[in-house]
Amino acid sequence: MTKQKELLYQQIANDLEHQISKSILKIGDKLPSLRTICVEKGVSLSTATQSYLELESRGLIESRSRSGYFVSYSHGQFKEVPSVTKPLKTSSSDDPQAVIDVLIKNASKAKVLLSSGVPSVALLPVARLNKAMTQAMRELPDSGINYERLGNLKLRQQIARRSSFWGGELHPDEIVTTAGCMDALAFCVQSVAQRGDTIAVESPLYFGIMQLARNLGLHVMELPTHPVTGVEIDALEKAMRVNKIKVCLLVTNFNNPFGSCMPASHKKAVVELLEKYNVPLIEDDLYGDLYFGNHRPLTCKSFDESGLVMYCSSFSKTLAAGYRVGWVAPGKFLDKVSRTKNYHSISCNALAHAAVANFLENERYDSHLRTLRQTLYRNTLQFQRCINDYFPAETRVSQPQGGFHLWVEFDKKVDTIDLYNKAIQHKISFTPGRLYTLQNQYNNCLRLSTGVIWNNKMEEALQLVGKLANRLCAA
């Protein structure tokens, strides 16, 4: 199928999905026949068929023998989104590290991984990456055995080129490559903050970032966060005005685990606050390429004119987590971050970084992203449908517009660590919400990963988790 036809069938599918979401087409309504779509849209029968198969894969319509296609589900049926978070002002002495250790230990026991922090290997272009790695071995001096202190130039050039997609104008010399995004975040934090300083973050937030800040001796201020629009701007402004905030760290696009995505206007407002109070921002944009809409979202870095935004990302969530290919555009802190990298890691994996650079040189990455985004979007709709069908009636679930995480909020009766212990007995894993905070909260929440191969096994696993949760609600 050509790229033009691919975009056309998606457009038809998206138009019909919009009608379903607005209840123009209601559950049970019969969709226009394939031949009608051909005439109305001026497309071939194969394109019309592909558009309906796309909607079917999203769980929104179903085919009935000799009768055609009917609406089977609607966005209007999805449960309410989780509450705006209201974290306490200070962190708790209760450390979730023990729970994290248990989850890591149990990971090998699970046969249904609803807790994975990366997409399934089956969704990634392994064969093409292998070819790119072989090419890197042939092309690099000494086959990539020696240090590459400055970072792969071709990789930095490709990252700079792709920055135009989110409104950036980066130059390769402004980019520092790292061994994954966590290294980028750590180098930034260590470059601008010292033990005893306060860092402001969203809440909930990926537990790796929380533990990093705590281990560096920082005071972590968790801020109220909206499940759709991200950190509450008023709360951020108050924190900067009242407290001595040394640095902010925000996951601006499709936050892990909440799935929130800050609107462009909020990102601009954040940058204006940074400049007003002269506070640097470490922006983690790990999931920005995994958007479900028509356009990649902008970043805070898009509005940065003073160099206060340190923009971090990687290819761990889209290509190869094990390659450890990340980077940071540190703005005015370039020299500090470069020195910090040199102190801690000297060099990155030359072969892996060169392989990713080779992969980025043509349209292979964009083609892979289009397919991956479609799959993640379909999975998200299927997960939401199952949560609506099988989980307790009062359950709330996020409705992210990108990424591969869903945040589920149960009634307070449900302790998700208890729920996890019951689910792991059936070899099903997810991540309890308590991990995503340094406070005693989110005990009734959990995170699900949609970066899986969707099949009956996944639906049965979600059905069982819902059954276990219903039992806890009834207890």
Alpha helix (H) residue ranges in 193-260: 207-215, 233-242
Amino acid identity of residue 9, one-letter, is Y
Q: Are 97 and 211 in contact (CB under 8 A)?
A: yes
pLDDT of residue 6: 55
The single residue listed with the structure tokens 């989980």 is 391
Half-sphere exposure of 276 (CA within 13 A, CB side): 12
* pLDDT < 50: residue spans in the chain: 1-5
Indicate yes or no: pTM above 0.85.
yes
User: How many helices (H) does the chain have, and how many strands (E)?
Assistant: 15, 17
pLDDT of residue 181: 95
CB atoms within 10 A of CB 169: 10
Return the SS3 of 67.
Answer: coil
Q: What is the DSSP letter of 244?
A: -
Amino acid identity of residue 445, one-letter, is C
pLDDT of residue 1: 42
Strand partners, 329: 311
pLDDT of residue 3: 46
Strands 326-329 and 176-178: antiparallel
Q: Are 408 and 204 in contact (CB under 8 A)?
A: no
Is 152 exposed, middle or buried (CB count within 10 Å of its CB: 0-12, 13-18, 19+)? buried
The answer to whether the Cα torsion of 255, 252, 199, 397 is positive or negative is: negative
pLDDT of residue 364: 86
pLDDT of residue 450: 96
pLDDT of residue 408: 97
Q: Are 284 and 253 in contact (CB under 8 A)?
A: no
Q: Which domains does the chain have, with CATH numbers?
A: 3-76 (1.10.10.10), 78-122+370-474 (3.90.1150.10), 126-364 (3.40.640.10)
Can you read off the two tokens belonging to residue 32? 């226009």
Q: Which of 38, 34, 35, 36 is nearest to 61 (CA)?
A: 34
pLDDT of residue 94: 62
Q: What is the DSSP letter of 347?
A: -
pLDDT of residue 374: 87
pLDDT of residue 89: 61
The single residue listed with the structure tokens 């969203």 is 202
Q: Which of 355, 365, 378 is nearest to 450 (CA)?
A: 378
pLDDT of residue 59: 85
